[in-house]
Amino acid sequence: MIQLNRCNVVIDGQWGSTGKGKLTGYLYNKYPEITVAVCDFMPNAGHTYVSDDGVAHITKALPSAISFDHIENVIVGPHAVISESRVIEELSREQFATKKFTLHIHPLTTVLSDSDAAVERDTLNNIASTMQGSCASVVKKMWRRPEQAHLAKDNDKLKEFVCDTHKLMQRLLKHGKTALLETAQGFDLGLNNGFEWPYCTSRDCMVGRVLDNAGVSVKDCGSIIASLRTYPIRVGNTEGGNSGPCYNDQHEITWPELSARIGITVEEKTTVTKRVRRVFTWSDKQIKRFLNAVKPDYAFLNFVNYLNISEYSDFIADKGKLLADHGCKLSLLGTGPRNSDMITIQAMGWRCNECGMIIDTPNCGCDGCGSIDYT
């Protein structure tokens, strides 16, 4: 899945919380060749990787990569919004403090101020925003008023990490390093490319955009890996606020309804706000829209443990075919929170009913190819 000597990208294909932290953690474990991690997170989302010993590694400022010994460089790009105290806290945590990576922060990375969250609480409750201050912080930078903007280059506690991360990334790739770019939020929460404005975040989540933020040429892009979930979610509503609609081929359900379907009790809360998430049925329209815009190479389908055993095989085959029809290979299934709760799909594709071969395209070349099923 990972292309060596390239910058590979993990991207969320729905409304977020698909398990990008779980996916990136798996990839760092699977591919020790990845020594460079890049992100441009904002404090409106948390990222969770659960190791096989059951320990949850939760970050909000830095990528999941900081949990791994072989990571050499961790890069925070200029479109990130970081909390000074959160960066220091994550670096000093015992589970991360023994790692040997070097942290690099772009000088124009925005640093959250105390007033930013207050501004959003006054203006964004109507769309059930997480109201962490990300947009308000970036707007100060966009006004280009140095006396108002809070940037990493001017922060005494972060100055030691500040460097030209664009030049650094270009040099690392030139010297043959392999990178993983951990994107934040979800495709359908994009400001311009999202599902429905104004129920979105303050930025877009497109591969070209995140590469641009990282200072990486599209020619240096490796694999694009999509992170999806069987039952997509949206952030929970607030009193007087709604986080937005859904596609017309899906509907909102409740956690008790989903629990009754699968015979176990499930409920999710957001890492940041602790609100109970809204949950929806699958939407082919949502996924097709994402696939046409992003064209990922591989896909990770998480929360397959939310499927009833009677629908499991048909659901996986049907969605695998949907992805394959758009040039994307369903390669990984998530069945639980831990790194070991991952199923690798070795052979999924069109099976020739004549010769039995499983292939990536609906034609294997044998005389019997006229009878092809997806499996």
Distance CA 313, CA 308 (A): 10
Going 181 to 185 to 188 to 194, the CA torsion angle's sign is: negative
The kind and range of the H/E element at 288 are: helix 284-294
Give 217's strand partners. Answer: none
Beta-strand pair 298-302/221-229: parallel
Closest by Cα among 9, 1, 8, 5 to 205: 9
| Dihedral in degrees, nearest 10, Cα atoms 284, 223, 213, 110 | 80
Distance CA 259, CA 270 (A): 18
The kind and range of the H/E element at 286 are: helix 284-294
Distance CA 17, CA 275 (A): 13
Produce one character per residue of 56-76: b if its CB has 16 or more CB atoms within 10 Å, e if not: ebebbbbbbbbbbeebebbbb
17 is catalytic: yes
Classify 191 in phi/psi space as left (phi over 0), alpha (psi -120 to 50) or beta.
Answer: alpha
CB atoms within 10 A of CB 133: 25
DSSP 78-115: TT-EE-HHHHHHHHHSHHHHT---EEEE-TT-EE--HH
The kind and range of the H/E element at 226 are: strand 221-229
Is the distance from CB of 340 to CB of 26 less than 8 angstroms? no
Give CA separation, 191 vs 108, 195, 299, 322, 341, in Å: 21, 9, 23, 26, 33
Beta-strand pair 34-39/73-76: parallel
Point out the residues that are catalytic: 17
